[in-house]
C-alpha cells in the first residue's frame, strides 16, 4: 500500500507520465492526419460518444488516445496525491504563501481536468443548423426554433439554457438568398474550467514574484 | 493614401534596420567583440527599432501584427530579443548572447524572405484576446529561446548564475505560455463555441505546456535517486530540448500538419 502511495506522490511519476503524454500527443498529431476518415468528426460530438464509437472499432489508430487518457489520469492522480501529502506537511509546519502556491496550481490543474471530463461526458454538440435570412430552423432535438432576422458576419454568440449558439459559416444559396450555419454547444464544465485556469494563472504569477526578488 | 504609403515604407525601413542590427550583434558575438553594457549593444538598438516597426505596423493595420507567417516570425524574433534583456543582461549571463543572437537573427532573416504586405484580420481574430493569446505565447517562445542559449552555455561552461537564469527561462516561459493558453481558450470559447478542438496544433500546445510543467518539477528529483538520476546537466539538457518542442509546436505543426493554426 505504501509503495502505491509513494508511486502516486513521486516526482518521478510526474516526469514519466509527462513524457508519456508528450510522446502520445506527438504520435496522435501525426496519426490524425493519416486517418482523416476516422478523426474528422472528433469535434462533431462529445469525446465520450466519439470514443465509444471509434475507439473500440479502430483500436490501433486510436492507441495514442488511450495513452493520452491514461497519462492524463495518472498525472491527475499524481497531482492530487502530491498535494494531499504536501499540504499535511505544510500545515504541520510553517505555512507560507510561497509553499502553498504550487498546490493551488495543482488544485487548479485538477479543476481543469475534472471539468473537462464533465464536459466530455455530459456536454452536447449540435452541428450545422442552417438558417436562411428571414427564416427559421429547429435546433437538434432541443425543441427550440432558431430564427435569423438579419445577418452579420461578426455576430456575437447567444447563450440559452446552458447552450452557446455560434455562427459557424455563412453564404448565399444559388439563387442569392443569404443564409448562416450555426452550431449549438453545451459545455457544463466550461465555467469551472475558466475559474480553474484563471486561478492557475494568478497563482503562477504570484509564484514568480518572490522568485524574481530572490534572483535580483 | 500617400501618407499611408510613406508610413508603410518607413515601417519596412525599420524592419530592415532591426535585421541589420541583429545581424551585427550576431557577427560581433561570433567575433568575440563585446559591447560592455547590454544597453549600448547592437542587440538593444535592434530591439528598439524592431519595437518601433511592430508598433507602426500595428498602427497602420489597426490590429496586433501577429497573424500569418511573416508577422509570426518577426514577433518571435522580437520576443527572443526581449528575453535576452529580461533574463541574460548580467555580466554572468552575457555569454549566452552568442547563441541567442543567432536564435534572434534567424527568424527575422526568415521573415525578410516573406511577403510583407498588410493583410486584413479575419473578423473572429479581431479581439483583444487574440493579441493577448498570441503575444503571451510568443513571449513564452522567446523565453524558451533564451533557455536554449543559457542551457547551451551551461552545458559547455557550467556556472551558478547561468543555471539559475536557465531555470528561470523555463519557469517564466511556461508562465507566459500558460497565460497565453488561457486567453486562447477564452477567445476560442467566445468565438467558436469551444475552448478545445482536436487538431494537431491544440494537441502540441498541450504537449509543450506539459513538457515545461514537467520540467519545472524535475529539479525536485534528487540526483542519483534511481535511474535516470536527475541532475542540473540533465535539467539544462531538457531546457535546451524544450526549444525544439516549441519549434515543432510553432512551425512544425503549422507548416507540416493540417491545423486550425496553419499559415
Q: What is the ipTM of this complex?
A: 0.90
Domain boundary among A75, A95, A115: A95
Task: Nearest chain A residue to B160 by CA: give it.
Answer: A215
Task: Check whether residue A134 and residue A65 sit in a common domain.
Answer: no
Q: Per residue in B44-88, pLDDT tens? A: 999 999 999 999 999 999 889 998 899 999 999 999 999 999 999
Distance, in Å, from the CA atom of A62 to the CA atom of A81, rounded to the nearest integer, reads 29
CB contact under 8 A, B221 and A29: no
Query: Is A205 in the B-facing interface, judged by CB distances under 8 Å?
Result: yes
Distances (CA, A) of B256 to B133, B200, B250: 22, 10, 11
* C-alpha closest to that of B57 among B19, B23, B14: B14
Task: Check whether residue A1 and residue A91 sit in a common domain.
Answer: yes
CB contact under 8 A, B218 and A211: no
CB contact under 8 A, A22 and B245: yes
Task: Check whether residue A91 and residue A2 sit in a common domain.
Answer: yes
Residues 62-121 of A with CB under 8 A from B: 75, 116
Task: Check whether residue A169 and residue A132 sit in a common domain.
Answer: yes
- The structural domains of chain B, with segments of one domain joined by +, span 2-256
What DSSP state is assigned to residue A177? -
Quick check: B216 and B170 in contact, CB under 8 A?
Answer: yes
CB contact under 8 A, B185 and A197: yes
Q: Which chain B positions have a beta carbon within 8 Å of A13's beta carbon?
A: none
Strand order in the sheet with A178-186: A124-132, A178-186, A163-172, A158-160
Taking the alpha carbons of B55, B57, B60, B65 in that order, is the dihedral positive or negative? negative
What's the rounded mean pLDDT across residues B91-115? 96
Distance, in Å, from the CA atom of B207 to the CA atom of A23, rounded to the nearest integer, reads 8
Q: Per the domain annotation, does A110 fall within a domain?
A: no
Q: What are A186's three cell numbers?
A: 453545451
Distances (CA, A) of B33 to B36, B85, B97, B150: 9, 18, 11, 19
Q: Per residue in A93-110, pLDDT tens? A: 888 888 899 999 999 999
Task: Check whether residue A90 and residue A178 sit in a common domain.
Answer: no
Range(s) of the domain holding residue A134: 124-186
For chain A, what is the mean pLDDT? 89
What DSSP state is assigned to residue B224? T
Q: Per residue in A5-42, pLDDT tens? A: 999 999 999 999 999 999 999 999 999 999 999 998 89
Task: Check whether residue A72 and residue A7 sit in a common domain.
Answer: yes
Choose the mutation target among B210, B223, B260, B262 for the interface with A, i.e. most A CBs under 10 Å: B210
Q: Which chain A positions have a beta carbon within 8 Å of B210's beta carbon?
A: 18, 21-22, 25, 75
Q: Per the domain annotation, does A192 fall within a domain?
A: no
Q: What are B153's three cell numbers?
A: 552555455
The pLDDT of residue A216 is 37
State the nearest Cα–Cα gap between B56 and chain A, in angstroms. 26
Report, in angstroms and rounded to the nearest whole number, the Rg of chain A calculated over CA atoms: 23
Q: Per the domain annotation, does A194 fall within a domain?
A: no
Q: What percent of chain A has pLDDT over 70?
A: 95
pTM for the structure as a whole? 0.92
Size of interface A-B (CB pairs under 8 A): 108
* C-alpha closest to that of A84 among A110, A63, A64, A61: A110
**Number of domains composing chain A:** 2
CB contact under 8 A, A15 and B203: no
pLDDT exceeds 60 at position B203: yes
List CB contacts of A52: < 8 A, sequence separation 6 or more: none
Grid coordinates 504541520 are at which residue? A92
Q: What percent of chain B has pLDDT over 70?
A: 94
State the nearest Cα–Cα gap between A26 and chain B, in angstroms. 7
Amino acid at each position: 500500500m505504501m509503495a502505491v502511495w509513494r508511486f502516486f506522490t513521486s516526482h518521478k511519476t510526474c516526469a514519466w507520465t509527462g513524457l508519456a503524454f508528450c510522446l502520445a500527443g506527438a504520435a496522435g498529431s501525426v496519426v490524425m492526419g493519416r486517418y482523416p476518415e476516422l478523426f474528422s468528426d472528433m469535434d462533431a460530438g462529445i469525446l465520450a460518444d466519439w470514443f465509444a464509437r471509434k475507439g473500440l472499432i479502430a483500436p490501433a489508430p486510436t492507441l495514442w488516445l488511450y495513452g493520452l487518457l491514461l497519462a492524463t489520469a495518472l498525472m491527475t492522480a499524481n497531482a492530487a496525491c502530491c498535494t494531499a501529502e504536501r499540504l499535511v506537511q505544510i500545515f504541520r509546519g510553517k505555512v507560507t504563501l510561497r509553499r502553498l502556491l504550487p498546490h493551488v496550481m495543482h488544485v487548479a490543474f485538477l479543476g481543469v481536468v475534472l471539468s473537462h471530463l464533465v464536459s466530455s461526458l455530459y456536454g452536447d454538440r449540435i452541428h450545422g443548423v442552417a438558417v436562411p435570412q428571414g427564416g427559421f430552423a429547429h435546433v437538434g432535438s432541443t425543441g427550440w426554433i432558431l430564427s435569423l432576422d438579419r445577418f452579420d458576419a461578426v455576430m456575437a454568440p447567444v447563450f440559452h439554457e446552458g447552450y452557446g449558439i455560434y455562427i459557424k459559416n455563412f453564404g448565399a444559396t444559388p439563387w442569392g438568398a443569404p443564409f448562416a450555419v450555426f452550431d449549438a454547444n453545451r459545455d457544463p464544465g466550461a465555467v469551472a474550467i475558466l475559474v480553474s485556469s484563471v486561478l492557475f494563472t494568478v497563482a503562477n504569477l504570484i509564484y514568480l514574484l518572490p522568485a524574481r526578488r530572490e534572483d535580483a | 493614401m500617400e501618407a499611408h504609403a510613406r508610413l508603410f515604407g518607413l515601417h519596412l525601413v525599420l524592419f530592415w534596420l532591426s535585421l541589420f542590427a541583429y545581424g551585427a550583434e550576431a557577427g560581433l558575438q561570433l567575433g568575440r567583440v563585446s559591447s560592455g553594457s547590454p544597453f549600448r549593444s547592437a542587440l538593444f538598438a535592434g530591439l528598439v527599432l524592431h519595437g518601433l516597426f511592430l508598433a507602426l505596423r500595428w498602427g497602420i493595420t489597426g490590429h496586433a501584427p501577429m497573424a500569418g507567417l511573416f508577422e509570426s516570425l518577426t514577433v518571435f524574433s522580437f520576443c527572443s530579443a526581449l528575453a535576452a534583456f529580461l533574463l541574460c543582461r548580467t555580466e554572468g549571463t552575457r555569454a549566452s548572447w552568442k547563441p541567442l543572437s543567432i536564435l534572434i537573427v534567424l527568424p527575422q532573416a526568415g521573415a525578410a524572405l516573406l511577403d510583407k504586405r498588410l493583410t486584413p484580420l479575419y473578423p473572429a481574430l479581431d479581439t483583444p484576446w487574440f493579441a493577448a493569446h498570441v503575444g503571451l505565447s510568443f513571449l513564452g517562445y522567446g523565453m524558451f529561446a533564451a533557455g536554449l542559449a543559457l542551457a547551451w552555455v551551461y552545458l559547455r561552461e557550467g556556472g551558478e548564475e547561468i543555471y539559475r537564469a536557465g531555470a528561470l527561462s523555463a519557469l517564466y516561459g511556461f508562465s507566459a505560455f500558460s497565460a497565453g493558453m488561457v486567453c486562447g481558450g477564452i477567445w476560442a470559447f467566445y468565438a467558436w463555441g469551444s475552448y478545445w478542438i482536436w487538431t494537431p496544433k491544440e494537441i502540441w500546445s498541450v504537449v509543450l505546456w506539459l513538457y515545461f510543467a514537467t520540467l519545472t518539477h524535475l529539479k525536485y528529483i534528487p540526483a542519483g535517486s534511481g535511474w535516470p538520476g536527475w541532475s542540473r546537466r540533465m535539467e539544462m539538457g531538457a531546457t535546451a530540448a524544450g526549444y525544439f518542442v516549441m519549434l515543432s509546436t510553432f512551425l512544425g505543426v503549422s507548416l507540416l500538419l493540417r491545423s486550425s493554426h496553419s499559415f
